[in-house]
Amino acid sequence: MIDRAKFERDGYVLVPGLVDAASVASLRNEALRFDAGTGLGVTTQLVHRSALVREFVTRGPQIRYAIELLGPDVCFTHQQFVIKHSAERQRTDVPWHQDNGYGRLEPPTDLTVWIALDDCTTDNGCLWVLPGSQQLGLVHHGARGALRAAAVEETGVALPMRAGDAALFRSLLLHRSLPNVTARDRVALYLRYCDPHVMMITEGNKPVLEDQYSWMVAGEAN
């Protein structure tokens, strides 16, 4: 059961041990199978290319939490593996941003599920959040290379996690991660779920269910 009051106040909750060790291992291997092997490795939208990813995003243990937080009708919309390669390669930080600062959904009531596929620490680039920042609405994002960056002065709160733990957060929550300065790659799985009636503003203002990667994972949609 989610601590709903904390989720509403802080914009996120942690779910320790969401994914079992065997699934963590097979998802991590799948992430590395698609990895290009440079700096920050982000491989997106693999549901058509990986049966393992498709099965997990549509039936994994996170679905019951998505139903709890979004209601009975839940649509999957986005998946990516995020690999922070070890320090010898390149910088791998992800600046402060809201997920709606990239793929904007309207209304922005969607849920991000960020799953650690390695133990994550401040040294290898764990997630950081700015509690309560979901209440700011969508803030301005500037470009930083291929990434976007919101201007944030605060340090925020680090969320160290064990492999298999998950952070569930609102897509307006400001979050970031710092570089991986260890010798081992750090792998995470990022998933986004939403109400089936939201519009994809960044994709030409189309209904989310018209996107080729969208799937109903619970309930129904007209």
Ligand X SMILES: O=C(O)CCC(=O)C(=O)O
Encoding tokens for residue 84?
């922070």
Nearer to ligand X, 75 or 85 (CB): 85
Q: How far is the CB of 190 from ligand X (least distance, A)?
A: 5
Query: What is the contact mask toward ligand X in residues 79 to 108, using x (rule: CB under 6 A)?
Result: ---x-x---------x----x---------
Q: Determine the distance from the C-alpha atom of residue 117 to the mean position of all C-alpha atoms in its chain, rounded to a whole number.
A: 12
Q: How far apart are CB 137 and ligand X at their closest, in Å?
A: 18
**Cα dihedral value 199, 175, 169, 208, nearest 10:** 20
What letter would DSSP give residue 140?
P
Site for ligand X in 189-208 (CB under 6 A): 190
Query: How many Cβ atoms are within 10 Å of 107's Cβ, its own excluded?
Result: 10
Residue with tokens 């393992």: 52
Number of residues that bind ligand X (CB under 6 A): 9
Task: Spell out, one character per residue from 33 to 52, where the chain touches ligand X: x when CB under 6 A holds, - when not.
Answer: --------------------
Residue 175 as a binder of ligand X (CB under 6 A): the answer is yes
Among 23, 43, 50, 177, binds ligand X (CB under 6 A): 177
Torsion of CA 82, 183, 118, 124, to 10 degrees: -70
**Closer of 188 and 217 to ligand X (Cβ):** 188
> 204: which residues sit within 8 A by CB, 6+ positions away?
none
* Residues 111, 192 contacting (CB under 8 angstroms): yes
Residue of the chain from 174, 188, 200, 208 that contacts ligand X (CB under 6 A): 188
Q: Enumerate binding residues for ligand X (CB under 6 A).
A: 82, 84, 94, 99, 125, 175, 177, 188, 190
